[in-house]
Amino acid sequence: MTTLPSSPTAADLSVEHTPARLTPDLSVYVAGHRGLAGSAVWRALSKRGFTGLIGASSSEVDLRDRTATMDFVSANRPDVMIVAAARVGGILANDTYPADFLSDNLRIQVNLMDAARQFGVQRLLFLGSSCIYPKFAEQPIKESSLLTGALEPTNDAYAIAKIAGIMQVQSIRRQFGLPYISAMPTNLYGQGDNFDATNSHVMPALIRRFHEAKLTGAQEVTIWGSGTPRREFLHVDDLASALVFLLENYDSPDTVNVGTGTDVTIRELAETIADVVGWQGNLRFDTSKPDGTPRKLLDVSRLRGLGWAPEVSLRDGVESTYRWFTSNLNSIRIEDGLVGLPG
């Protein structure tokens, strides 16, 4: 195992430091390397020449199983760990299966971080979610808003699990002096997303619906809620760039937001996607369905202050995601339905 510079003491970690640059000879375990975020990190590190990348599918290692997780990390002894593994889903999935989201995510992150500490992982980044912040947090949402108000009820179980992950990172730093960090991304999209009709997030769900409407000649597409909530979207390639940047430039117990600093309404998002797909029809908003949080825009001044900024615009990101979607209909994550209809 390649040796990084010695870790600072627990007292030193109460302030920010500049960690060492990641070099291609380091071994990096990307937990969740086949998921949306993890696969983007894997691509980014591969492009930088990293040859010691470590990954395992859920069928190879069940990260909810403590013994299996410990055995895997013990056998591989990575220098760096990126915790991108999680049970994720859209508003319907979170609202329907809160116990599963809480239990699975708590076990995954506790097992991984305990294993990292026990088996000498020198740098770790825990990937959280912007849903950790209060439903009515002041916009844009600063990192200091954490634990200052009630959560959005439709995904509070998932949020609590992610908050626990932040606390675990901070507790490991305090107790063991290890330079572990956490980052909170906004809504993600891009290559490798889940396009399931009921269990996906809003961006891939809309891409799928408009694509199917185009194929079938449907003149109307129904969208949950009023269309007025505002959301921020970050392309996964930008996320991967940000995470590598943070591992090389950020060392603080405080979590850091990762986003674009701009947002759009769900209606505006739907209109953009429909235009990219080439579907022309009527949008119907089902107001009997929940809107979720009225607005969720992250304050990204901390990350911008460090010198990082996103590169992919929303329009360009939607276009590239749709191209990837149509080119991978036989392999994308879809658990039902008619996406593969001939055009």
Q: Binding residue per annotation — 39?
A: no
227 is in an annotated binding site: no
Instruction: Establish whether 162 is an annotated binding residue.
Output: yes
Is 317 annotated as contributing to ligand binding? no
213 assigned ligand-binding residue = no
For residue 302, how many other CB atoms are within 10 A of its CB?
Answer: 17
Tell me: is residue 186 an annotated ligand-binding position.
yes
Helix (H), strand (E) at residue 28: strand 27-31
Told to judge if 158 belongs to the known catalytic residues of this protein, a careful annotator would answer: yes
Helices within 90-201 (DSSP H only): 91-96, 98-118, 156-176
Number of CB atoms found within 10 A of residue 170's CB: 18
Q: Pick the catalytic residue from 29, 158, 180, 250.
A: 158
The verdict on whether residue 107 carries a ligand-binding annotation is: no
**Which of 331, 335, 213 is closest to 270 using CA atoms?**
213
Tell me whether residue 187 is annotated as binding: yes
User: Annotation-wise, does 224 bind a ligand?
Assistant: yes
Ranges assigned E (strand) in 190-253 = 220-224, 230-231, 233-235
CA distance 296 to 138: 9
Question: 43-48 long-range CB contacts below 8 Å, 24 or more apart?
Answer: 43/237, 43/240, 44/237, 44/240, 44/241, 44/244, 45/244, 48/24, 48/244
17 is in an annotated binding site: no
- Annotated binding-site members for substrate: 209, 224, 231, 291
- Annotated binding-site members for NADP(+): 32-38, 127-130, 162, 185-188, 201
- Annotated binding-site members: 32-38, 127-130, 162, 185-188, 201, 209, 224, 231, 291
Kindly list the catalytic residues: 158
